Amino acid sequence: MTRHFRSTAVRDDGEAEKGLRAHATHLVPAALVSWMTALVLLGCPALVCASAAAVTAAGGFFMVMMVPPEGMAGWRNATIAVLGCAAAVAGAVAFRVHAVSTGPVAELVERQASAVVEAVLTDDPRRLAQRGGTFRKESFVVPARVESVETETGRVALRAPVMLLGSGGEWRSLLPSQRITVQGRFGPADPGELLAAVVLVRGPPRVLSGPSWDQRIAGALRSGLREAADVLPAPERGLLPGLVVGDVSRMDDQVRADFKEAGLSHLTAVSGANLAIVAGAAIALARIGGLPLAARAVLAAFAMLAFAVVARPSPSVLRALLMGIVAAVALGTGRSRDGVAALSVTVLGLILFDPVLARSYGFALSVCATGGILTLAPRWRDRLATRMPRWAAEAVAVPAAAQAAVTPVLVLMSGQLAPAAIPANLLAGPAVAPATLLGFAAALIAPLQMGVAQLLVRPAGLATGWIIEVAERAAGLPMAVIPWPGGITGLLALAVAAPVVILALRHRWSRRIILIVAAGAIAAVTVTGPIVVRWPPEGWLLVACDVGQGDALLVAAGPGRAVVVDAGPNPVLIDRCLRSMGVKEVPLIILTHPHFDHVGGLDGVFRGRAVGAVVVTPLGSTERENTRLSGDLARRRVVEWVARPGASWRFGPSELTIIGPPAEASFTGSREGAAVNNASVVVHVRWAAGTALLSGDIETEAQAELLRRGFPPADILKVPHHGSARHDLGFLAATGARAALISVGADNDYGHPAPSTLARLNRLGARTYRTDLSGDLAVVAREGGLAVIPRGR
């Protein structure tokens, strides 16, 4: 009897598993075709007519590849599932398009009119990167839902999703669910965004009501974690809230860039790992309390929902939440769980609920990474387990599978491959769980007892510090990021290359050849790289950093020290240049003039470095800009000096002397910004092996004044104003420079450097070096003179 019952149970389990696989094979093509349908319908309207043919072809392909031929009934069910889901998605898209393209908001957009609106925030305000000025008001992008509009005929109630663009610190503290009133001009949203309008807000928002109780609690937890993290150094302080709840509002720009290049950006996008930790803790507590299986599942689902509210419903959170709820239902009912089926149901549900997710790269990366872990990782783990311990095999297989699955999306999105991502994730992975657990515990305790929360944050800071160190090292590796064609071209190239590599790796002899070639390439880079170009060059004296369209120069001031002349527009790029040169201390910063492309990267100079003093231009023509700059320097508690001709400093091998601008000079210009450019501080640098002239952005008027007053010649000229056409030929000739450095951004919109300037320098016998073509440029002493060594891009 026992044997009979056991065989019956086994047979029932087998039938259930077989049925689950059959449903999964129907769900996968249905989810993929639905996703493609949404992409087509949200894309170019001209493609809508071709959507039916595309959906039919894709559906047929996936059914042939994935649906087992179980007779006509199997094919019929699969076809019905695919076409039914595609029709449902098409209906959802049509409904949403109609909703956002009709009504009072659409009329305001058509006229690009202004109006007073009442709106409810649907997400946190997101701060925009500042462009065109370091000290302008902060700007924010705020997703919202318009509830009413004041029109000529009166107040009209409605519900329309919009994007608000506002400026000012008043936006920073707002929370989702708050009701505000703003006045702004209505403009069209990007096609496919399913937004009724983009509203350019004038003035600060007027708050009508506070957040809902759940958002108030979520905001308290998030702000409590930020406050508790204040005891950590700046990089860890910004990263910990990102790891725990996806709050990257204070994340350091350099850490963000390192994470991107090291393939670790997903750690700050709350996903399945975070929800798994929360759900696991809830289930463990329920088990300790003796709750039944169904109650444990309910508690786990509730915990995941609460965490999703705190972390905000980003695409990765929504995907992980639905998959977690499906798993919780399976746990509570005692049924088998199939990850691929759960993922397919999640994709279908989310695209039906919010079709615009189909266009989200974040959603695509999350789904692909999860699919890779579910389908590829188990097979790779089993293969690797024959050669290493099973735990090590799983540690290698999971990040490798995830990276392989998201590679097509990364190629389509950014046109690059990231080989460093797999070892970086392998090394950073063990620190993620303790940082997340301790950080989440600190967030829960902070509103009640901040001191205890800060105690919990300190060991979490050690874990985040390790992750930051891994990201920094991985981003600095040779070939950490390999350029690859972007867009459809890159995707097609990857589709051709990937099968060739896979087929080659299937045979032992071809694997050996690939390993030998790879080892030879690594040896070539390691051994011959320093011979071709050693960086930093030994005994460097001056470096023109490749910071895009801007200026950033380093003057040697002894071991681990440099004088910084201008900081470029980007903190990440100047910090990376300083790191590459091993600069840990900056005794002096000279800011030639307060334009964004020269001072925008100041944060990167101050990152983790001691700064002695800052020199600024004295001229009153830039009084307003200098006042703002002085206020920023005062907040940094750094000494500010005004440049005076004749002032000089000696640091290590370098002697720097200010030769302009004259204090009594008053420059104008023929265009906007010329007066500020002409007020640039001009520096003459002397070394034992030669001299250099660093001329900021001075234009024709200031160059003529310097020529009239006289100035010492130089072997190296930093060409003024990125090589623009506004140059005085007599000034260029009087410098006597044999080499000219031009700091300029690739494909800039200004036409820099001007062909006429390059021709003049060539006629004067000066060899030209450009950062947009050669990357960082180093000046070194060679055979009693100076030489320029390009790093290469």
Q: What is the pLDDT of residue 240?
A: 93
Please determine, for residue 316, whether its predicted confidence score (pLDDT) is greater than 70.
Answer: no
Tell me which of 369 and 183 has the higher pLDDT.
Answer: 183
Return the pLDDT at 55.
41
Produce one character per residue of 760-784: b if its CB has 16 or more CB atoms within 10 Å, e if not.
bbeebebebbbbbebbbbbbbbeee
Q: What would the pLDDT profile of 690-728 be if each residue is shown by its tens digit? A: 999 999 899 888 888 888 888 999 999 999 999 888 888
Structure confidence at residue 776 (pLDDT): 93
What mean pLDDT do residues 390-394 have? 79
Residues 6+ away with beta carbon under 8 Å from 695: 680, 682, 703, 717, 718, 719, 720
The strand pair at 482-483 and 716-718 is best described as: unpaired
Three-state secondary-structure class, residue 712: coil
Reported confidence tier of residue 20, pLDDT bands at 50, 70, 90: very low
DSSP state of 548: S
The SS3 of residue 193 is coil
Q: How far apart are CA 183 and CA 165, in angstroms?
A: 11
Contact 780, 537 (CB under 8 A): yes
Distances in Å between the Cα of 45 and the Cα atoms of 106, 529, 743 are 18, 51, 43
User: What per-residue confidence (pLDDT) applies to 490?
Assistant: 67
Q: What is the pLDDT of residue 119?
A: 93
Q: What's the confidence (pLDDT) of residue 618? A: 81
Give one DSSP letter per residue of 393-459, joined into a string.
HHHHHHHHHHHHHHHHHHHHHHSEE-TTHHHHHHHHHHHHHHHHHHHHHHHHHTTT-HHHHHHHHHH
Lowest mean pLDDT among 62-76, 462-476, 618-632: 62-76
726-730 own/partner pairs: CB under 8 Å, 24+ apart: 726/674, 726/699, 726/700, 727/699, 727/700, 727/703, 727/757, 727/760, 728/700, 728/703, 728/704, 729/760, 730/704
pLDDT at 350 over 50: yes
> Which residues on neighbouring strands pair with residue 723, listed in sequence order?
none
Please state the φ and ψ torsions of residue 258, each to the nearest 5 degrees.
-65, -40
Asked which of 23-37, 534-548, 572-586, 594-608 is least confident by mean pLDDT, the reply is: 23-37
| Confidence check: pLDDT of 542 > 50 | yes
DSSP state letters, 98-159: HHHHSSHHHHHHHHT-EEEEEEEE-S--EEPPP-S-TTSPPEEEEEEEEEEEEETTEEEEEE
Dihedral sign, CA of 108, 111, 115, 119?
Answer: positive
Q: Is the pLDDT of residue 93 over 90?
A: no
* Contact present, 743 and 547 (Cβ < 8 Å): yes
pLDDT exceeding 90 applies to what percent of the chain?
Answer: 25
Q: How confident is the model at residue 528 (pLDDT cuts 50, 70, 90)?
A: very low
- Percent of the chain having pLDDT more than 70? 80
The answer to whether residue 5 scores a pLDDT higher than 60 is no
Confidence of residue 198 (pLDDT cuts 50, 70, 90): very high
Tell me the one-letter amino acid at 279. Answer: A
In the prediction, which pLDDT does 371 show? 79
Q: What is the pLDDT of residue 347?
A: 82
User: Greater confidence, 137 or 175?
Assistant: 175
Task: Quick: pLDDT tens for 722-747.
Answer: 988 888 888 989 999 999 999 998 88
Cis peptide before 571 (omega within 30 of 0): no
Average pLDDT over residues 7-16: 42
Q: Pseudo-torsion of CA 673, 675, 678, 679, nearest 10°?
A: -110
Task: Find, among 322, 333, 271, the residue nearest to 296 by Cα.
Answer: 333
Token code pair at residue 783: 């055979």
d(CA 420, CA 424): 6
Cβ neighbours, 10 Å, residue 136: 12
705: tokens are: 């004044």
Who has greater pLDDT, 29 or 789? 789
- Please state the rounded mean pLDDT for residues 222-226: 91
Instruction: Say what the pTM is.
Output: 0.72
Inform me whether the pLDDT recorded for 465 exceeds 90: yes
pLDDT-based confidence at residue 353 (cuts at 50, 70, 90): confident
